[in-house]
């Protein structure tokens, strides 16, 4: 049986580039998805949309994976949204965490899914599947997003209806939030589709871009590099296929040191 190290024993084994933080909240959505929050070290700074390596000590060795930070940079805690992979080196243990347990977090966040990597535009599309919604959970709670864009569209596609709940709850909370709610009013829209359950809008986001259903439903013109900006996060295949569609429509990929019309990230963990 694997032993997950906790408490004092763990603190002594920690290298200087790692924080040890306590779990403050855990919420399970389905047998594949859960969300958790940890304490935030006072010195930890990040830009909304970035990821960080988080891990657990298992059998005396740390196991880390890259996780997008799902909370906004102003939040007092750090939130993550995770998949549970049966037998996954990290997630088979991570899915069992409880309040008070210790999570390891490397000190240096990084990532390309940040506002700085996009040139100014009118409409921001955040295309996500599965846990790929995590970085966007941060970005849609960041006031800068609403300062930079008139129209903020989060698309979230999952296999099953129950997997949409995290994003739906989040958008509902934002609308009720005294600060962000006002900024997001009339700007933030959530577009959901499902691929393996009955749902009003069925299909992969790639198909809905290609057949125009996405734009029809939103009541907006098709993608236009002059005004539209994009961020993509999902499985490797989803990122690849969505990126091709954006490029075919004239958008170019940007980076931190070379902002352009869209950026991509990967959010898969094992
Ligand atoms: P599908 O059910 O047709 O595979 P996953 O949990 O496997 O990451 O999938 C999350 C969602 O992403 C599912 O709705 C899945 O659709 C969809 N998906 C998987 N591969 C792609 C792809 N290459 N392009 C667009 N969507 C995809």
Which of these, 252, 234, 253, 244, lies nearest to 68 by C-alpha position?
A: 234
Task: Report d(CA 42, CA 77) in Å as an integer.
Answer: 10
18 and 84 fall within a common domain: yes
Residues 209 and 126 in one domain: yes
Tell me the CATH number at 246. 3.40.50.80
Q: Hey, how many other C-beta atoms are within 10 angstroms of the C-beta on 242?
A: 25
CA distances from 138 to 77, 160, 226, 261 (A): 12, 23, 25, 20
* pTM of the full structure: 0.94
Number of folded domains that form the chain: 2
| Substitution candidate for ligand 1 out of 235, 239, 267 with most atoms within 8 A of CB | 235
73 and 155 assigned to the same domain: no
Q: What is the pLDDT of residues 216-232, one digit of tens each?
A: 999 999 999 999 999 99
Measured in degrees and rounded to the nearest 5, phi and psi for residue 152 equal -125, 110
Q: Are the C-beta atoms of residues 208 and 244 closer than 8 Å to each other?
A: no
Same domain, 124 and 236: yes
pLDDT of residue 270: 38
Residues 225 and 195 in one domain: yes
If asked whether residues 64 and 99 sit together in one domain, one would say yes
Question: Are 87 and 18 within one domain?
Answer: yes
pLDDT digits (tens, 9 = 90+) for 41-88: 999 999 999 999 999 998 889 999 999 999 999 999 999 999 999 999
Say yes or no: 53 and 126 in one domain: no
- Looking at the structure, do residues 18 and 66 belong to the same domain, yes or no? yes
> Quick one: tokens of 117?
């990597």
The last residue of one of the domains, among 54, 88, 106, is: 106
209 CB within 6 A, ligand 1: no
Same domain, 63 and 165: no
What CATH number is attached to the domain comprising 57?
Answer: 2.40.30.10
Atom 5, ligand 1: residue with shortest CA distance: 130
Q: What are phi and psi of 108, to 5 degrees?
A: -110, 105
pLDDT digit string (tens) for the chain, length 270 residues: 455 656 556 666 688 899 999 999 999 999 999 999 999 999 999 999 999 999 999 888 999 999 999 999 999 999 999 999 999 999 999 999 999 999 999 999 998 899 889 999 999 999 999 999 999 999 999 999 999 999 999 999 999 999 999 999 999 999 999 889 999 999 999 999 999 999 999 999 999 999 999 999 999 999 999 999 999 999 999 999 999 999 999 999 998 889 999 999 855 443
């Amino acid at each position: 049986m694997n032993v997950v190290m906790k408490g004092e024993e763990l603190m002594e084994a920690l290298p200087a580039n790692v924080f040890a933080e306590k779990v403050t909240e855990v919420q399970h959505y389905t047998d594949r998805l859960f969300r958790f929050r940890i304490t935030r070290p006072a010195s930890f700074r990040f830009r909304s949309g970035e990821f960080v390596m988080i891990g657990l000590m298992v059998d005396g060795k740390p196991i880390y994976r890259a996780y997008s930070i799902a909370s906004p940079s102003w939040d007092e805690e750090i939130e993550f949204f995770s998949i549970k992979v049966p037998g996954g080196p990290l997630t088979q243990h991570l899915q069992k965490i409880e309040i008070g347990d210790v999570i390891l977090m490397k000190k240096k966040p990084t990532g390309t899914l940040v506002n700085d990597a996009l040139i100014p535009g009118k409409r921001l599309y955040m295309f996500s599947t599965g846990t790929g919604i995590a970085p966007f959970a941060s970005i849609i709670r960041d006031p800068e997003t609403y300062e930079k864009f008139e129209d903020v569209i989060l698309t979230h596609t999952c296999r099953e209806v129950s997997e949409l709940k995290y994003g739906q709850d989040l958008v509902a909370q934002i609308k009720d939030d005294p600060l962000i709610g006002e900024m997001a009013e009339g700007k933030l829209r959530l577009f959901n589709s499902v691929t393996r359950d009955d749902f009003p809008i069925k299909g992969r986001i790639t198909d809905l871009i290609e057949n125009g259903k996405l734009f029809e439903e939103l009541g907006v013109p098709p993608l236009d590099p002059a005004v539209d900006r994009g961020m993509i996060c999902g499985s490797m295949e989803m990122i690849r296929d969505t990126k091709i569609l954006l490029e075919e429509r004239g958008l170019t990929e940007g980076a931190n040191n070379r902002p352009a019309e869209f950026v991509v990230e990967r959010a898969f963990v094992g």
